Structure 1
Amino acid sequence: MDKALTIVVPVYNEEDNLERVEKELGAYAENAKIPVKILFVNDGSKDKSQEMIENICANSDTFNYICFAENRGLSAAIKAGFDHTETNLVGYIDSDLQTAPADFDLLLEHIDEYDLVTGVRANRKDSFVKNMSSKIANGIRRAFTKDGMDDTGCPLKIIKTDFAKRIPMFKGLHRFLPAMILLQEGNIKQIPVQHFPRIAGQAKYGLWNRLFGPLMDCFAYLWMKKKYINYSIAKKG
């Protein structure tokens, strides 16, 4: 089967970044080695994000959108993107573009062999507090999940869509995507990718979201792991 990729872009009050998103993701899609579509998921933005998204989509068949009736959080936005993907590969990137669309090509090199390929942010350009809280949170998650991933919060991933659609998402579970692929007995890999400072807009996560919230989510993951249903079909008649 020929590969095609849908890139999910969650948006929450990112009007200052969307022109750059249009330019950079549009350029990537135009020059990509496989067909690429961009799917905005507007998570109930209160600014002009939706108006800008509709203008972008009206000017290019590469872009499409979903708009939530109200803010439901990043996990819900990613889940909605997975649910509405029709290509056999689905990617994810944040609308602040602290990771580079061009680095999807690095992940695509390995997606034939793996079911999820995620970036690891090299030389992170975040504040000391943000970097340290992320390191601690990743260490906690790694201890709970045993997934071996160094940077599960990296907003640059590609997943085989049939695996992505089987992920039972709940609030906070976007941090556990590699672990949820392992629950499906899938294979995962991490690849170093570029990282850049946020140029515009405001970060949506503070110390609580990055550190204490994920600790609570780990217990939810353990419950999910215990209750998770996985099966394979030997025959059909």
Structure 2
Amino acid sequence: MYEFTIIVPVFNEEENLKRVEQELTNYIKIATKKTKILFVNDGSKDKSQELIEEICTNNSDFSFISFEKNCGLSAAIAAGFKHTETELVGYIDSDLQTAPEDFNLLLAEIENYELVTGVRANRKDSFVKNMSSTIANGIRRAFTHDGMDDTGCPLKVIKTDFAKNIPMFKGLHRFLPAMILLQNGSIKQIPVQHFPRIAGVAKYGLWNRLLGPLLDCFAYVWMKKKYINYKIATKG
């Protein structure tokens, strides 16, 4: 019945979840693929889980999984990939600094690619946040040669077979395009809208936006050298 699953990682976002419900409900009505929503509650300590359960009870297109404790964004995305049964999977942050309707821009291109990612145009973040992201993206490109300008953009669509083959570890959510390239897949980036955070608290500071990703680059280089990639020719 469904063709596309949107993963929504959640960590202490009680102030945003009602807006998430409204925006994604509106998007489902205009989506170019039959769409369902999967919340992944990453061990929230506020009322997020209570609100998620209420939303899922009221909307048949919404479901959830919940972690016992906080494991991080990469773990939430990996769990979402594992529990996706549709042909296509995407994700969006629960702060809604990107617009769900822009998924249609990505879906329009996904037939010819294995991953299509947004690039945040006219970012509405602070100077320090923008500059640290620019530096981090430059460092990551030097290591991965993926050609992507904004891998931190929380708006992506991936063919699920490829998403499930990504060996996830902490911080690797920034390397999703590079991991698709390791599978000999093709990738594309498309400008999307960006908005300031209007509720809740940002979960990333200078360390996990700049210095953390630098260390993750070395993990990626090690993985690239060890990565096993094969295709079945025949079977009987």
TM range (shorter): over 0.9
2:164 matched to 1:165?
A: yes
Distance in structure 2 (CA, Å) of the matches to 1:181 and 1:64: 27
Distance in structure 1 (CA, Å) of the matches to 2:32 and 2:42: 30
- The residue number in structure 2 matching 1:102 is 101
1:185: how far off? Answer: 0.2
Conserved in 1, the CA contact under 8 Å of 2:32 and 2:107? no
- The one-letter amino acid of 1:15's match is E
How many residue pairs align between the two structures? 236
2:64 matched to 1:65?
A: yes
1:139: how far off? Answer: 0.2
- Larger displacement relative to structure 2 (199-208 or 2-11): 2-11
CA deviation string 1:2-59 (max 9, x = no partner): 9810000000000000000000001101221221000000000000000000000000
- The one-letter amino acid of 1:197's match is P
Instruction: Tell me the secondary structure at the aligned position of residue 91 of structure 1.
Output: strand
Question: TM-score scaled to structure 2, two decimals?
Answer: 0.99
Question: TM-score scaled to structure 1, two decimals?
Answer: 0.98
Q: Percent identity?
A: 78
Task: In structure 2, list runs of 5 or more residues that go unmatched.
Answer: none
- The residue number in structure 1 matching 2:204 is 205
Aligned ranges for residues 177-216 of structure 1 at < 5 Å? 177-216=176-215
Distance in structure 2 (CA, Å) of the matches to 1:146 and 1:190: 14
Conserved in 1, the CA contact under 8 Å of 2:2 and 2:35? no
- The residue number in structure 1 matching 2:91 is 92
1:236: how far off? Answer: 1.0
- The residue number in structure 1 matching 2:11 is 12
Where do 4+ consecutive residues of structure 1 move more than 4 Å? none
Instruction: Tell me the secondary structure at the aligned position of residue 112 of structure 1.
Output: helix
Conserved in 2, the CA contact under 8 Å of 1:3 and 1:89? no
- The residue number in structure 2 matching 1:28 is 27
- The residue number in structure 2 matching 1:136 is 135
2:79 matched to 1:80?
A: yes
Aligned-residue Cα RMSD (Å) equals: 0.9
CA deviation string 1:78-127 (max 9, x = no partner): 00000000000000100000000000000001000000000000000000
- The one-letter amino acid of 2:126's match is S
- The one-letter amino acid of 1:111's match is I
